[in-house]
């Protein structure tokens, strides 16, 4: 597996990141630890979790799996969501950050976190307070680097500007939803990340399982895509446009003798600005399928075909810029 540098830092991470949201839920502890062991054996060093995944159980399993190889692993977790039923039990205030990091460190059985990420923007807390608290954690040694997730472009840019103005540590990465069936990041965020050298580590790179090809046009009654709410609801995934994209993925998979999941992940691996897609697996079989995305490069003509079918409609100001920028 190739190694890449995460954003404007010297942090070396594997080209795929193992997501652990299912650990302790649909993936039992034994299989979860086995996945981490296999991932490391295959050259992976980047693990992503969060303090709210399975009410902290995911962090506990990850901690147990890596405690004897801690220095070899790049460990990422998150803070922001509700962890306690009181007014200060959520958000990214100094109080909640300081409480949450101690709880995560305990569950993870470590004394430091490599990448500590703000899970979602907090409209109640000034970003100056959040960044100062995170800067203090880096100074104390409890956190090595900081990142964010699910931000608007203006929120990321404001955060970077506040860090620069106050000489706080900067976000080196963002964790957004991004895949062939979810390319909203292309409107503004991707160009911002390229300009500011912020690493992009996408979640749901397979569209919540849609891009695996397991689903027909009939609305599912089981599985993640049977949800009526959230990003993986059938109303968002099972659209005509998404099935057109899936048809192109399946056609490419047949040409390349790969699976749809491998094609979808490999397309991301070769997209400019993407550092390390975060893939999850409920079973060891799904894990093995996903790992087949590395070690080969998609022919440019097929990559372009997938890029074209999944691209966002032409929108202002991009279409304006594309038309008139050529005259200068």
Residue written as token pair 């540590």: 169
Catalytic site residue from 53, 116, 145, 215: 53
Could you give the 3-state DSSP secondary structure of residue 203?
A: strand
Q: What are phi and psi of 61, to 5 degrees?
A: -70, -45
Q: What is the pLDDT of residues 122-158, one digit of tens each?
A: 999 999 999 999 999 999 999 999 999 999 999 999 9
β-strand pairing of 12-14 with 3-5: antiparallel
pLDDT of residue 216: 83
Report if residue 326 sits inside a domain.
no
Average pLDDT over residues 72-89: 96
Q: What is the mean pLDDT of the chain?
A: 96
Domain assignment present for 44: yes
Compute the average pLDDT of residues 21-43: 98
Radius of gyration of the chain (CA): 20
What is the structure's pLDDT at 327?
Answer: 54
Helices (H), 148-208: 153-166, 189-196
- 90 within domain boundaries: yes
Give the count of domains, the chain: 1
H/E element, 32: helix 29-41
Catalytic residue check, 215: no
Residue range 253-276: average pLDDT? 98
Q: What is the pLDDT of residue 226?
A: 79
Given pLDDT bands bounded at 50, 70 and 90, which one contains residue 217? Answer: confident
pLDDT of residue 218: 83
Give residue 324's pLDDT: 78
Per-residue pLDDT of 158-214, as tens digits, reads 999 999 999 999 999 999 999 999 999 999 999 999 999 999 999 999 999 999 999
Q: Please report whether residue 195 resides in a domain.
A: yes
Q: Report yes or no on 7 lying in a domain.
A: yes
- The CATH number of whichever domain residue 23 belongs to comes to 3.20.20.100
* 234 is a domain residue: no
% of the chain exceeding 70 in pLDDT? 98
Which residues lie across from 116 on neighbouring strands? 77, 146
Q: Average pLDDT for residues 3-24, to the nearest whole number?
A: 98
Domain that includes residue 89, residue range: 3-209+272-296
Average pLDDT value for residue range 253-259: 98
Is residue 242 a part of any domain in this protein? no
């Amino acid at each position: 597996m190739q190694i890449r540098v995460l954003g404007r830092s010297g942090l070396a991470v594997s080209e795929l990141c193992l997501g652990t949201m299912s650990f302790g839920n649909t993936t039992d502890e034994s299989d979860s630890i086995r996945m981490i062991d296999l991932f490391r054996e295959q050259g992976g060093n980047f693990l992503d979790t969060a303090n709210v995944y399975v009410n902290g159980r995911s962090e506990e399993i990850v901690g147990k799996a890596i405690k004897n190889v801690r220095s070899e692993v790049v460990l990422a977790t998150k803070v922001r969501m509700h962890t306690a039923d009181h007014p200060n039990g959520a958000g990214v205030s100094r109080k909640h950050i300081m409480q949450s990091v101690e709880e995560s460190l305990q569950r993870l059985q470590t004394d430091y976190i490599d990448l500590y990420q703000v899970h979602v923007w907090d409209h109640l807390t000034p970003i100056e307070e959040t960044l100062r608290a995170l800067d203090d954690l880096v100074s104390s040694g409890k956190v090595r680097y900081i990142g964010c997730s699910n931000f608007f472009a203006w929120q990321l840019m404001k955060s970077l500007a506040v860090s620069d103005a106050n000489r706080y540590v900067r976000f080196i990465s963002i964790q957004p939803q991004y895949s062939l069936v979810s390319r909203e990041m292309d409107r503004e965020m991707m160009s911002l990340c390229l300009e500011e050298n912020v690493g992009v580590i996408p979640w749901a790179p397979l569209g919540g399982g849609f891009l695996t090809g397991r689903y027909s046009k009939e609305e599912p009654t089981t599985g993640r895509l049977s949800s009526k709410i959230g990003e993986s609801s059938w109303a968002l995934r099972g659209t005509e446009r998404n099935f057109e994209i899936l048809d192109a993925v399946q056609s490419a998979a047949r040409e390349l003798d790969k699976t749809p999941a491998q094609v979808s992940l490999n397309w991301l691996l070769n997209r400019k600005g993407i550092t390390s897609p975060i893939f999850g697996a409920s079973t060891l079989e799904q894990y093995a399928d996903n790992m087949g995305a590395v070690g080969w490069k998609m022919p440019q003509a097929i990559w372009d075909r997938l890029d074209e079918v999944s691209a966002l409609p032409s929108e202002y100001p991009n279409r304006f810029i594309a038309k008139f920028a050529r005259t200068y």
